[in-house]
Structure 1
């Protein structure tokens, strides 16, 4: 009989909690809830009730469960959860998920594109972010629920993803419900930590009270109150200890044995006397097995030996039943309520409760358990030509149950190495740790070496170091020493990427000591590449190792680290470049393609001091090696760097867009975010405001969640630069504040912050003195931290301003910039061409000056905003020296900036035109830009220009300079504004202006270089 309750009893508080969070999720406020309790306490019933209530709200529900077989299967609950939703419906087609499909395909292989590049291991954070985005899309209308059960049995990768989800669902319409036992381990640590951080609710389920047990028994039997004898209730409450699962098992035993039976309209409990009564689940299940047919009994014992979840194929191999008999017995066991088909896989079954499998195994004597495990292991081994990873884990578990530790260790170690090669380093570490504990003395050290690599790649460098340091000595140059040296080298690479310089150096020294001398060329190459990258890391004081420069992402998204201070530092870099070139060629020749790609990437960085042609040649070689050896990650990285260089040379984004497509196909979210930052910056420089804004909004928060700090900072800087180039000072400052909070001013982005952002912002406010100071600060920073920030103003804008100011050092700065690699970039050629024109015009070479302007215009084709700003500056010098067409240039610039809503520059152009004696029509239009309430009280366009400037509380002299009017006129407009707005003083009027600026900041989403509807020139 199946004595199962049709209702949940004794869990009103928990159901109330779930109802409340479901309501909140439906309104867009996500939450994570963890239900903790011992086996059988009712966690799954509550999860099921949550699913039913979500269905009633028309919410999508995804449900998965971790395996209880002891097998380490990366992401199994997540795979099952996605399958539960999309097996029939297929892949979601929302375009918002396009960047995340490759990562999601790691969980659902059917979603993988046929053209997808193989060989890329999606990082845990990338996968977690992809899953988070999928859930947010599913819950967009009504919210969605993901239920993950038995997290205590989950692999480490799943735990990491669940932690990420719990920490990031608060602002999304997503409810995460996880169930787990209160056993010490990663799952419980996660739940407790999330509760402490207030990112999750944790509810521990206690035993049912006697009245709840009574209600449950009545529900199981379909009895009305009073029909079941109180003695039966007391018996079950005492024996089950308030555990709902045991209540059901023991109740079924009472009914099956006839001790509890129907009597008329009620139930009767037979006298117990001294009869042998089961006192727990084990004896209860033993009694139930005795009443089953022998083949069904055998099948269930074998199934329990295989674990809480088992495959039909494995069961057939062990039992020897043919298909007809096998499925007949499976059907009998299912009808008895003991097992059920597994919803995640059509060829698997699962016990209805993990305690059932435990109880069945425990019903056998130890010797019989061992014999059955041995028989099962042999059958599984003989059932396939090549065992899968899951089958090998099953064999290892069975061999261990049979007492064969050595064979179990070897199988665990083999699967662990396979998982390590596949990128599942967390699961690999679990299996290799298990193998190490079982390995005999002669094999333990070899397992330890692989375990150290797995721990390092999982982010546990301290554990990896301790494992390697505890290994016994090995003779230098021996095969054992060489294997250990490779492990030290790999751990050194991981430490270098994590910027843990000292640990990386220790590992390199250890590797060299183990390899002895002389090293084989491929061994030297692997170490040299790590040492070369290590040379460029910043020390804790912000300086580069060995007198080098600071680290970070440059305008090209790469680590823009260049020559070092002093002749000693530069010589070290030159030697590093020579060594890297030898390493690249050696690695190619000796069949070490990953080392070769890393070497060519390093060379591309080091050779940029001599120009982009040589850097591109290194990247093309890297791309060729990656293509030849099907290294998807290296290929995408090479394409992104080549696309970046092309963007910097020409200002165009076509090649960078192609590189983004490659990164998208690969599925690397980190690389996608880096590329998005570059494309957003290209959009800013090209005047594609909407596209740049959309790209930043798409990636900036995701990059923070991903921990992609380099891309996150760069995107924040792009946001500030976008505001600066549009002349929106308040937006610029808000964005820069976020940039600073993210550590931007301690990164290598400072030259771009000061030069490309703040200096241009100052010019848009017609504050040339401040712009010059910002550019000088950027140059001073670069002198202290040498780098290749070619868009920081040092190689274009600053020489132009110095020449315009008739600075004696201007011509020399121009010549130095022109001779540098940075001077060949389109953005800088535009400014340098106009600087050349100013010098020629000043020297009386008008034809040469005009020719230089035309050349600059060809370089400026991709940069409309910067070109018009440069024309405004150049026209001023041309007026002073009487050459060129300054009036035409000023008219063009004035029209552009008036339409863009940048009144300070437009006003300066009008003032220069008047100074040139040209009639300038008054622009009294623009009333449409004045807010309705201000138009209603009669505020004029000129008064509104004064009003919007008051948000920054400037003085009358500053307003006069910006609008090119007299201070007296400013006073007149101020008096009129106070009268019309009813302000009692200047402070109140300034506060009103600031409020209006904040209210209108989100408006005015212009396209491609125009801002005609901008509410404020700032």
Structure 2
């Protein structure tokens, strides 16, 4: 953070607001603060003042600064906030390499969030990030997330940004701050009297009319005004007049910006040389790096550094030195000829690498260099660090790899660099280039077999990302079919290739070929001792068993696959296998075992570098089916963030579905509108967004368009699609009911006759009950509906329990069994009330009223929507631990939840209790006697 003048003239209102924010945070209610204004207006000075005040109040102060050079490296500004152990841990995540590794940036962002949370458990914290407009997307997103969560913590998240710059990252933050009562603080220009006061402080004398006129030319910018005053003093251009200091008659005052150049030209030659080198290091730099780059001793340079400090060119910045302002740094940078500047950056990179400095710092200077392809050392460094570069910053990696490939080097190294370039291009959004290069490597006549194999699976991944779902899978299958036929592959490489091929073949519906590929992957994996290939191939075999309805075999296979993940090294495959196991246990109604599996799955997820989306969706599925709707929403709410836009349909679908059942039409419409262009056609499309399909159907019926609701659900009549949908069997009676209501008996019979593509011995009780229930509706027989209701009640499926009771009540009423119908209606409404399913209550009452049946006047009490009574069981457990002073990570560990899920629960608790901080939660808990 740059330091401005110690005199914050004209900033009394701003400093007062900042001190109020600090006071509230000290009491436990934090806030996000964003200062906006032009360059030099005093934003950094305000942040420095805020930091000084925070320190006197006992805050821990964490400070960082974004840089236009470093925006290629995600989260760089936040690394400056950390001490050595935390920094090393986050860097290890950011540089996690390995083929198929997930993007490490979300993992590092999550770790950074937890580090800040941990600091908050020790006392109030001020986190400052200057020049936010230059931050990368991940840093801006993390800052925004911290700002939005600050009210839960003794945390102030402050930043400064230049008006009109970096709008792509700033605009979303402005919206987030407005939604969460954040403070957006515009920093205005100084007025005439404030500029005169600044002159009086700087010159120890009042300003006369001519000096005031010149100061007005600065536009009220304190930095320009300060530099102009210093320039006039250096030029002896001021004289004492009757009303204060005046400009000497006839003196030509240059433009305010010229003062920077004049200041530089008046420095000694030796200092200008030192400052040019310092400028190449950046706005902030460590003195040791400057000594190393210039190859001069501290004793030799200290007098020159003192001169720079006295001249207010440099200022101290904790353990570093910094140019007093970015504009001053820019003058020194632009004074270096472009060709020389590039060479200096290469020299700095080599010096930093020799001193074993941060990987990011070396790469940043190489990005600013030129002629990299002619520098053997630079090309070698890129080659040696290629994999880490791709993981750390695909965009930077692509730029450096392209240059290195133009340099000299052995053929084997060139192939390796090209493969890494394919990954970098793919991950930085340049998919067409990645595909072209991967295809060229895979089909090249001189390419070694194993390099061709790696290029093939990279090509398959690229294709699957850039085509429609069905086309991507089909083309990837063809690519991998060719690859597995390559001669000269080692067993380990072949094992992994077969395992990957099996995944695509199964998705394409080539089940026999997929099974053969998976078995080959397992066999070759065993021969080569490759646990990854065995476990990865086994996941496909598990999926195929589930698709056949052979749940028993699926559970056996998951045990086998998990045996190869026992040492924790294959945590991503372990998470997939445990997710599949959870789906099976939940599907067959073994809810106790499913809950235990969620605990084991969460333990695995804690070791993962990034959130595991598939497991989150499976856990949310389980919670939704079990009627724990708020828990389901909390589990996947993070999918609303831009990082997870590919699976945003899952979040919007679930949130829309819950809103529809709760009769919150406005909120449901918001979520459906967000995904209105997402097609849900074909088995694969339905399988990845089945909640959205359900939400669209419920919303259509709710709006009085039953024909649209039935048409929306029609794709589920495909047996292959029905087994992919979370509650596939349970939609049979819904479709039968809708079709009969429309007089469409043919569709009703088609739905009632729906059977999955399972052998008879694999047909589950869920399918048997749903099919019988559907046939019962066709025959107007309430008995199967009542039998299904009993089954759903016994297997923790409350929504379906209520629907079966509702259908049975209507059939009983139509048979003249009014008393029985009323009893079943009351039972259904009681179930719906516990769920908060107001739409389902309204639908049931409307249907039975048409049959002459009304429920008793004293029905079940509506579920509370605010206050302590509205908290769900999970929210109560979280609230009790918040009140006891536990941090979110501690609560997560104790309750076997993810930290992000706990954060979501805490936000919901604050909203329901209409309080702002964890301290308020503790007060409410104490008032209610929750704490002993």
Do structure 1's residue 601 and structure 2's residue 539 form an aligned pair?
yes
Which residue number corresponds to residue 878 of structure 2? none
For 1:77-118, what per-residue CA distance to the aligned partner results, in whole angstroms no more than 9, with x for missing partners?
2334x55xxx79x9xxxxxxxxxxxxxx78974999xxxx99
Do structure 1's residue 518 and structure 2's residue 494 form an aligned pair?
no
SS at match of 1:954: helix
Do structure 1's residue 486 and structure 2's residue 378 form an aligned pair?
no
Which residue number corresponds to residue 268 of structure 2? 289
- Structure 1 residue runs of 5 or longer lacking an equivalent are 91-104, 538-544, 549-571, 762-769, 802-808, 836-841, 843-852, 878-888, 904-928, 930-944, 965-972, 978-992, 1010-1018
- Structure 2 residue runs of 5 or longer lacking an equivalent are 700-705, 738-748, 775-780, 782-786, 812-819, 875-932
Q: TM-score, normalised by structure 1?
A: 0.59
* Cα pair 1:3 1:221 within 8 Å, conserved: no
Do structure 1's residue 458 and structure 2's residue 428 form an aligned pair?
yes
Distance 1:734 1:403 in 2: 55
Which residue number corresponds to residue 476 of structure 1? 445
For 1:366-413, what per-residue CA distance to the aligned partner results, in whole angstroms no more than 9, with x for missing partners?
9997897787566545445xx641353366368749996564455456
Which residue number corresponds to residue 77 of structure 2? 77
* Cα pair 1:127 1:161 within 8 Å, conserved: no
Query: Using a 3 Å threshold, how does the CA distance of structure 1 residues 327 and 48 change in structure 2: closer, same or farther?
Result: same
1:392 to 362, 368, 383: 362
Do structure 1's residue 641 and structure 2's residue 580 form an aligned pair?
yes
SS at match of 2:161: strand
Which residue number corresponds to residue 389 of structure 2? 419
Do structure 1's residue 353 and structure 2's residue 294 form an aligned pair?
no
Rg larger in structure:
1
Which residue number corresponds to residue 591 of structure 2? 651
- More displaced 10-residue stretch of structure 1: 159-168 or 314-323: 159-168
Query: Using a 3 Å threshold, how does the CA distance of structure 1 residues 260 and 482 change in structure 2: closer, same or farther?
Result: farther
SS at match of 1:340: strand
Which residue number corresponds to residue 852 of structure 2? 960
Query: Using a 3 Å threshold, how does the CA distance of structure 1 residues 890 and 64 change in structure 2: closer, same or farther?
Result: same
1:252 to 206, 209, 230: 230
Query: Using a 3 Å threshold, how does the CA distance of structure 1 residues 120 and 635 change in structure 2: closer, same or farther?
Result: farther
SS at match of 1:478: coil
Deviation of 1:75 after TM superposition, in Å, equals: 0.8
Deviation of 1:362 after TM superposition, in Å, equals: 5.9
Deviation of 1:507 after TM superposition, in Å, equals: 7.0
Distance 2:361 2:724 in 1: 53
Give runs of aligned pairs for residues 58-207 of structure 1, distance below 5 A: 63-67=63-67, 72-80=72-80, 83=82, 109=90, 124=105, 148-151=129-132, 153-155=134-136, 157-158=138-139, 177-180=159-162, 187-191=166-170
Q: Aligned residue pairs: how many?
A: 822
Which residue number corresponds to residue 704 of structure 1? 640
Which residue number corresponds to residue 207 of structure 2? 225
Deviation of 1:281 after TM superposition, in Å, equals: 2.6
- More displaced 10-residue stretch of structure 1: 7-16 or 318-327: 7-16
* Cα pair 2:66 2:134 within 8 Å, conserved: yes
Which residue number corresponds to residue 880 of structure 1? none
Distance 1:438 1:210 in 2: 59
Which residue number corresponds to residue 540 of structure 1? none
Do structure 1's residue 303 and structure 2's residue 278 form an aligned pair?
yes
Deviation of 1:695 after TM superposition, in Å, equals: 0.8
* Cα pair 1:647 1:682 within 8 Å, conserved: yes
CA RMSD of aligned residues (A): 7.3
Deviation of 1:866 after TM superposition, in Å, equals: 7.5
* Cα pair 1:584 1:595 within 8 Å, conserved: yes
- More displaced 10-residue stretch of structure 1: 484-493 or 205-214: 205-214
For 1:615-655, what per-residue CA distance to the aligned partner results, in whole angstroms no more than 9, with x for missing partners?
33443444344455813322222223223333434222343
SS at match of 1:350: strand
Distance 2:228 2:547 in 1: 79
Do structure 1's residue 661 and structure 2's residue 661 form an aligned pair?
no
Query: Using a 3 Å threshold, how does the CA distance of structure 1 residues 337 and 43 change in structure 2: closer, same or farther?
Result: same
Do structure 1's residue 575 and structure 2's residue 557 form an aligned pair?
no
1:616 to 546, 552, 555: 555
Query: Using a 3 Å threshold, how does the CA distance of structure 1 residues 706 and 595 change in structure 2: closer, same or farther?
Result: farther
Deviation of 1:287 after TM superposition, in Å, equals: 1.5
Give runs of aligned pairs for residues 301-340 of structure 1, distance below 5 A: 301-319=276-294, 333-340=308-315
Deviation of 1:606 after TM superposition, in Å, equals: 1.8
Do structure 1's residue 695 and structure 2's residue 636 form an aligned pair?
no
Query: Using a 3 Å threshold, how does the CA distance of structure 1 residues 182 and 255 change in structure 2: closer, same or farther?
Result: same
* Cα pair 1:457 1:494 within 8 Å, conserved: no
Deviation of 1:781 after TM superposition, in Å, equals: 1.4
Deviation of 1:574 after TM superposition, in Å, equals: 1.1
Which residue number corresponds to residue 100 of structure 1? none
Deviation of 1:136 after TM superposition, in Å, equals: 11
Deviation of 1:661 after TM superposition, in Å, equals: 2.0
Give runs of aligned pairs for residues 259-274 of structure 1, distance below 5 A: none
Distance 1:892 1:266 in 2: 94
* Cα pair 1:396 1:412 within 8 Å, conserved: no
Which residue number corresponds to residue 787 of structure 1? 723
Give runs of aligned pairs for residues 678-689 of structure 1, distance below 5 A: 678-683=618-623, 689=627
Deviation of 1:576 after TM superposition, in Å, equals: 2.0
Deviation of 1:579 after TM superposition, in Å, equals: 1.7
Query: Using a 3 Å threshold, how does the CA distance of structure 1 residues 134 and 407 change in structure 2: closer, same or farther?
Result: closer
Distance 2:601 2:616 in 1: 8
* Cα pair 2:652 2:692 within 8 Å, conserved: no
Q: TM-score, normalised by structure 2?
A: 0.63
* Cα pair 1:373 1:402 within 8 Å, conserved: no
